[in-house]
Amino acid sequence: MKIRIIGPCGSGKTYIAKELSRKYNTPYYELDNLVWNRTEVQRRNPVEVRDAKLMDILRQDSWIIEGVHYKWGMDTFRQADIIVIIKPNKLATQYRVVRRFIRTRLRVESSNYKQTLHNLYTMLFVWNKDYYSVSLPAIMNLTDAYSDKRVVIARNRDLHAIMEERLNNREGIHQ
């Protein structure tokens, strides 16, 4: 099974990827961890390193890949059995980003990157600002060729019923 999950910051991409990973015993990967060198704050991996890591993942028989990135990694969409586009309420995403910031700063929740006010600002007012007007239409256009395996959901819980239906019907899902 190969699943590609995409949505804005705070949409629940990682949450649903972890849930599906546990349920279907399939490894999940965060594209952010390919982009960023997590040993140093805000240092990007060279494009060659990022792309090589992605190719290693894509060679596997099954995977769940989540991330907001769509301008690179077209093979993630091409190879996926199902493409999940999360289109949540804007206020909900902003709330989740702020909640995650507070919880990680208080060390109630862990994070694989350092939460800073600069990162919070960037997520809220740069990355998420144009998601619905710019990124989402571009993602929909980019995935038009794969519309038969594309699913748009507003809430993560909606995906469970869709996955069960697809698995029961064996529509394009390879286990």
- What pLDDT does 42 receive? 66
Global pTM value: 0.87
Q: Which of 29-43, 134-148, 153-167 has the highest mean pLDDT?
A: 134-148
Residue 166 lies in a domain: no
Number of structural domains (the chain) is 1
CATH for 74: 3.40.50.300
- Average pLDDT, integer, range 87-96: 92
Residue 64 lies in a domain: yes
Q: How far apart are CA 58 and CA 43, in angstroms?
A: 24
Is residue 172 over pLDDT 60?
no
Residue 173's pLDDT band, with cuts at 50, 70 and 90, is low
- Average pLDDT, integer, range 110-127: 81
Residue 131 lies in a domain: yes
Residue 84's pLDDT band, with cuts at 50, 70 and 90, is very high
Residue 50 lies in a domain: yes
Structure tokens at 33: 């961890």
Residue 77 lies in a domain: yes
Residue 170 lies in a domain: no
Residue 169 lies in a domain: no
Is residue 13 over pLDDT 80?
yes
Condensed to tens digits (0 to 9), the pLDDT of residues 127-140 reads: 888 898 999 999 99
Partners of residue 2 on adjacent β-strands? 63
Residue 175 lies in a domain: no
Domain that holds residue 23: 2-160
